[in-house]
Amino acid sequence: MSNGLKKIEDIIKKHPILLFDGVCNLCNSSVQLVIKNDTKNFFLFAPLQKPEVVKYLEKHHPNLNQIDSIILITRKKTYTKSSAALTVAKHLKGLYPLLYVFYIIPKPIRDLFYDFIAKNRYKWYGKQEQCMIPTTELKNKFL
């Protein structure tokens, strides 16, 4: 097992990791919003394009390879799409936890809306040529 893969497995035991599309402007903005409102430093972040993340998903969640927007991996459970977004919102400061009320909507219906936005995110928000490089102050929040 590569050191990077082992590192991810060890980190997940202590911190949830939010995987995101590192070239998506909407995803990068969303990560910045989470960082700003994650006052307890609950989450760590990694782009889906990172080689260690790809290896981790291939080994532990091969069925998630087709997801290209967000995945939240915790010690006990893995969340995708709208479930990931709502679970993240639940842990943020301010009014964001109120969004968790939408969890009562069945996942297939929530994911229809999520998939519509995800499908159009590059057209609406644009795409970068490479993954975001975190600032020095934020490096400790990224794998």
Q: Answer for the pair 133, 39: CB distance below 8 angstroms, yes or no.
A: no
CA dist., res. 143 & res. 135, Å (int):
13
Would you state the pLDDT for residue 134? 67
Which among 135, 143, 122 has a CA at the least distance from the CA of 43? 143
Up-side HSE of residue 20: CA atoms within 13 Å toward CB?
A: 27
Per-residue CA distances from 111 to 7, 65, 106, 118, 136 (Å) = 31, 17, 9, 10, 35
Would you state the pLDDT for residue 128? 79
Q: Answer for the pair 117, 125: CB distance below 8 angstroms, yes or no.
A: no
Mean pLDDT by 10 residues, the chain (143 residues): 70 91 88 93 91 86 78 93 96 96 96 93 83 70 80
Which among 60, 65, 97 has a CA at the least distance from the CA of 75? 60
- Class of the CATH domain delimited by 3-138: alpha beta
**Look-up of token digits 């097992």:** 1
Which segments of 4-137 are extended strands (E)? 17-20, 44-47, 70-73, 78-80
